[in-house]
Amino acid sequence: MREGLANETLKRIYASVAGHYDFQHGLITAKSDQRGRKMVVDLAVKPGDRVLDCGAGTGSTGVMALRKAGRDGHVTFFDLSEQMLAVAREKVARTGIQGNADFQTGDMTKLPFDDNSFDVVLSTYSMCPLYDPAKGALELYRVAKPGGRVGIAHSTDPENPLLKVLADGVESVAWRLQWLSMGCRSVEVFPALVNAGGKVLFKKHIGVPLWPFLVLVIEKPGP
């Protein structure tokens, strides 16, 4: 796995792409990114849930969660980039239920929330740029309530060995173009969540052959 970029570098990258992030990410992933977002929200969020969208970016996942949680629910949009969250704020304002949302900036590997704070914690394509993805995943798990759910979609390696070699070559080129890669690379967080005691509710590979995603929904066991 390639070493992640520094937070200051990521802030600079995402400040520059915030205005066209949705188009760029959707184009690169052949819109499978939206499929992954919908899957984690459909599987993890219930009406009335208190939700953390961690690495919320431009708010695409959080808005889905806001609608699913409904007027009795609440979504916290958390991201490293204020510019990305500015786009998210605009999307939330258009839903008409912005009173059920709040926005915070910070580091996903050092979440400013107490243990067991949220019914659902989501991360879609925000593990991929982290310097320590496993640590980030364990932070998501930490702030989920017992009996709560963690829904994640992240870049992963193709399962076919030949495609893995080809994908690594493509990623090597993209990695040199920060505006294109946006610091994203294939990561692995599943073992960390299972070792922490998480119960696997859903696990599936989706996406284009050279740029697949792993979609996970993990339950944090109750007392």
Q: What is the pLDDT of residue 27?
A: 87
Partners of 79 in the beta sheet? 105
| For residue 28, pLDDT beyond 90 | no
Note the pTM of the prediction, 2 decimals. 0.94
For the chain, the structural domain boundaries read 7-219
Select, from the ranges 20-29, 141-150, 171-180, the one with the highest average predicted confidence (pLDDT): 141-150
Structure tokens at 153: 């979609």
Q: What is the pLDDT of residue 176?
A: 83
Q: Average of pLDDT values for 43-67?
A: 97
What is the fold of 7-219?
Rossmann fold (3.40.50)
At 59-114, the pLDDT tens digits run: 999 999 999 999 999 999 999 999 999 999 999 999 988 889 999 999 999 999 99
Looking at per-residue pLDDT, the higher value among 43 and 170 belongs to 43
At 212-221, the pLDDT tens digits run: 999 999 999 9
At 163-195, the pLDDT tens digits run: 888 888 888 888 888 888 899 999 999 999 999
Over its C-alpha atoms, the chain yields an Rg (Å, rounded) of 16
